[in-house]
Chain A
Amino acid sequence: MEKKTNLIHCALVVVLSLCLVSSPVLAEDNSVSVNELIENSADYNGKSIAITGEAIGECLERGNNAWVNISDGSNAIGIWMTKEEAEGITYYGDYKYTGDTLVITGVFYEACKEHGGEPDIHCSAFKISKAGEMKSEKIPAAKILLAAGFTSLALILYMTYRQLLNKKPERSNAD
């Protein structure tokens, strides 16, 4: 009887472990960086990994799928996901916006056969850990002053140039 219970316990532990391994782990702590993936691409190739990064640029739709590029600060990489998944992303980072921060779980390929040998990640799940936003652009007063000052200087020099160079050229001895 005890043996049977032990066997059931063991089986449960194995099943639970397998579930944990195969199910997406959406934890930022376990994330690898893009550079780490590239440096150790052979080790990570074909394996499920978690990566955290900001969605950048824009969504590039391809039929029912889409490319979303993410940057983790070290580098950027393309994430291949469904169009529906991509529609969940609101902000993409550029000069004016900070993109949504995504925690992605997916399979990394060092030379993806489906995508012409490109290093990429095929997304299996993702969540937005931090929503993006529009950046505020506060214009520094110092820059306005500098622009006014240097523009004035350029105008003064231009007036001098007009005055001096519109005169007839001097005859120099060197000629």
Chain B
Amino acid sequence: MKNSEISVRSAEIISYYAGFVILGTSMLMVIPVVTAILSREWIPMLDFIISMAIAASLGLIFVLLGRRTKGHSSSVQWKHGFAVAALSWVMLMFLCSIPYLLSGHTYSYLDACFDVMSGFTTTGLVLTQDLDHLSNALNMWRHMLTFIGGQGMVVLALTFIVKESSGGYKFYVGEGKDIALVPNVKGTARIIWKISIVYLLFGTLVLWIAGLLLGLNPASSLLHAIYIFESAWSTGGFAPNTQNIMYYHSFLYEAIAMVFFIIGSFNFGLHYAVWQGKRKEFVRNIEIQSFAITAFLASVLAVAALSKTGLYPDAVSLYRRVVFNVLSAHTTTGFGSLYARQFALQWGDGGILIMVIAMLIGGSACSTAGGFKGLRVGIVFKGIIADVKKLLSSERSMRVYKFHYMKDIVLEDGLVRASALIIICYMVLFGIGTLLGTFCGYSLADSAFEASSVTGNVGLSIGVTSASMPAVLKIYYIFAMYLGRLEFLSVFALIGMAITGVKRIWKRKQI
């Protein structure tokens, strides 16, 4: 009997906090509503009012169901943090898809859910049709989702809506971020948002000026600047037009976007350290070292492979079509300066393999980027070197191996094992995706490219992702994006709690 009470309490805690996350996200729909009013887009305005009211109602129902949690935030455990993050993301996927569906730009609700999960997870794959005729309101929503998803929706909602702060760190970790910039999670979340907003203002200004220089009118240049910055900073890869970054036909625009998506793929802790004047951190940080090495190697190898084909005749072409795409893949952004099918038709197996590896590695931990992260690659690599050194040195010598990540950290076996375990989870997810792609009739290279893109939350496509792809593949890709972004633990916790709950109910019925 006591067990069932605890289970009810857990459900209430999850319901209460998930309700606030939904409520917070519904409030964000005010921004597209305002955009619609300013752009005189009346139908999209109604679409967002309907969606906002549905989301707010559901959020309030969840809060009311878990109302006994109010004042008992200290009872929040790790499992609740993980479950709230995982459940909120699923609920929000369904609710935030409503404006897409009402706009008539998706063939099905599944396609709308796919695009929302792609946005939240900063992946950037698109099933929305006819992007060139999308309303400003829906475009604002698409890019907002990817911007907010990158920083963390659960943290945003709980930081600014829920007054009680205890238990906040559990939600924060549940959403795939684990760095504490200041002792309390509210402060950390606020710093993350402060950094992002300062960059948003600066980046929008720079891109707005660039847009004016390349011929956009002032109003649309501003909107494009907001969209492209949000997408670049969150390593999302969405763009307001079908041609993605190619729409602008501009080296300048691509270069600015590249700077922001590289900065966006860095750890928020690193941004904070640099802001505080600790510039040496930029050079000493294991993630930056790892990223610099892998990005350089991937770019050089891709340039070498593509140079042989003779397709790109000069350095500028190689930089804009090869290096840009490799870095876009490595930072898990997904801006494409080529058509999807060009990867399949022109890059060859070598080029595709380089892209697959770059997409799987991804950016930094506690950043907006995806992939299994440079930090883990660095730790596992250092772990291997340490093991080799231990084997070669005398049995009596006891040497402590360290790495630098904001501070000097001892390289313990447990840390190496945990990093390797997450990498294995990503590889399994990638393997299943590749296998499923081949079962659905796509070539091995195409399947692997697309599977790495969804697993690493990248967004580059080789042409598999389309409205006509099998529903089973769409569902798997949604699941892979979700698992990849939340880094497995939260989803495993939610599934574990659901199974435990079902078991308890089953046992109670038998008694």
Q: Which residues of A contact B (CB under 8 A)?
A: 35, 38-39, 41, 56-62, 66-67, 69, 71, 75-78, 93-96, 110-111, 113, 115-120, 137, 139-140, 143-144, 146-147, 150-151, 153-154, 157-158, 160-161, 164-165, 169-170, 172-175
Q: Are B5 and A115 in contact (CB under 8 A)?
A: no
Does chain A have a CB within 8 A of B60? Answer: yes
Which of the residues B49, B241, B317 comes within 8 Å of A151, measured between beta carbons?
B49
A-contacting 9-mer, from B191-199, B212-220, B273-281, B497-505: B212-220
Q: Are B46 and A144 in contact (CB under 8 A)?
A: yes
Which of the residues B6, B43, B70, B72 comes within 8 Å of A137, measured between beta carbons?
B43
Q: Are A57 and B317 in contact (CB under 8 A)?
A: no
- The interface residues of chain B, by DSSP majority, are classed as helix
Q: Are A165 and B67 in contact (CB under 8 A)?
A: yes
- Counting chain A CB atoms within 10 Å of each CB, which of B63, B314, B339, B346 scores highest? B339
User: Across chains A and B, which 7 residue pairs bring their CB atoms closest together, nearest first?
Assistant: A117-B317, A150-B53, A60-B215, A169-B71, A157-B60, A116-B320, A56-B132
Which of the residues A111, A137, A174 comes within 8 Å of B42, measured between beta carbons?
A137
With A78-B243, A147-B46, A169-B70 in contact, do A60 and B214 touch (Cβ < 8 Å)? yes
A170 to B12, CA, bound (A): 14
A20 to B248, CA, bound (A): 34
Q: Fill in one digit per residue for B363-399: 1 if any A CB lies within 8 Å of its CB, else 0.
A: 0000000000000000000000000000000000000
Q: Are B57 and A71 in contact (CB under 8 A)?
A: no
**Which B residues, 39 to 72, have Cβ-Cβ distances below 8 Å to chain A?**
39, 41-44, 46-47, 49-50, 52-54, 56-57, 60-61, 63-64, 67-68, 70-72
Q: Which residues of B contact A (CB under 8 A)?
A: 5-6, 8-9, 39, 41-44, 46-47, 49-50, 52-54, 56-57, 60-61, 63-64, 67-68, 70-72, 75, 102, 132-136, 214-217, 220, 241-243, 246-249, 251, 311-314, 316-321, 337-339, 341-342, 345-346
- Determine how close the nearest CB of chain A comes to the CB of B92; give it in whole angstroms: 17
Can you name 18 A-B residue pairings with CB atoms under 8 Å?
A38-B345, A39-B341, A56-B133, A69-B243, A75-B242, A76-B242, A76-B243, A95-B134, A110-B311, A113-B313, A118-B320, A118-B321, A119-B342, A140-B43, A150-B54, A161-B60, A169-B70, A174-B6
With A39-B345, A58-B220, A157-B57 in contact, do A150 and B43 touch (Cβ < 8 Å)? no
- The interface residues of chain A, by DSSP majority, are classed as mixed
Q: Which residues of A lie under 8 Å from residue B339 when comparing CB positions? A: 38, 75, 119
A175 to B12, CA, bound (A): 13
Q: Are A94 and B47 in contact (CB under 8 A)?
A: no
- Determine how close the nearest CB of chain A comes to the CB of B39; give it in whole angstroms: 8
* Chain A, Cβ-Cβ closest to B314: A113
Which of the residues A39, A66, A95, A154 comes within 8 Å of B56, measured between beta carbons?
A154
Which of the residues A95, A140, A175 comes within 8 Å of B135, measured between beta carbons?
A95
A169 to B311, CA, bound (A): 70
A57 to B227, CA, bound (A): 15
Q: Are A117 and B320 in contact (CB under 8 A)?
A: yes
Q: Are B57 and A150 in contact (CB under 8 A)?
A: yes
Q: Are B5 and A174 in contact (CB under 8 A)?
A: yes
With A38-B339, A164-B64 in contact, do A95 and B50 touch (Cβ < 8 Å)? no
With A39-B341, A95-B41, A111-B312 in contact, do A57 and B241 touch (Cβ < 8 Å)? yes
A11 to B41, CA, bound (A): 61
Q: Are A111 and B317 in contact (CB under 8 A)?
A: yes
* Chain A, Cβ-Cβ closest to B8: A174
Q: Are B247 and A117 in contact (CB under 8 A)?
A: no
Q: Are A111 and B311 in contact (CB under 8 A)?
A: yes
Q: Are B311 and A147 in contact (CB under 8 A)?
A: no
* Chain B, Cβ-Cβ closest to A173: B5
Q: Are A62 and B246 in contact (CB under 8 A)?
A: no
A117 to B44, CA, bound (A): 38
Q: Are A93 and B214 in contact (CB under 8 A)?
A: no
Q: Are B50 and A116 in contact (CB under 8 A)?
A: no
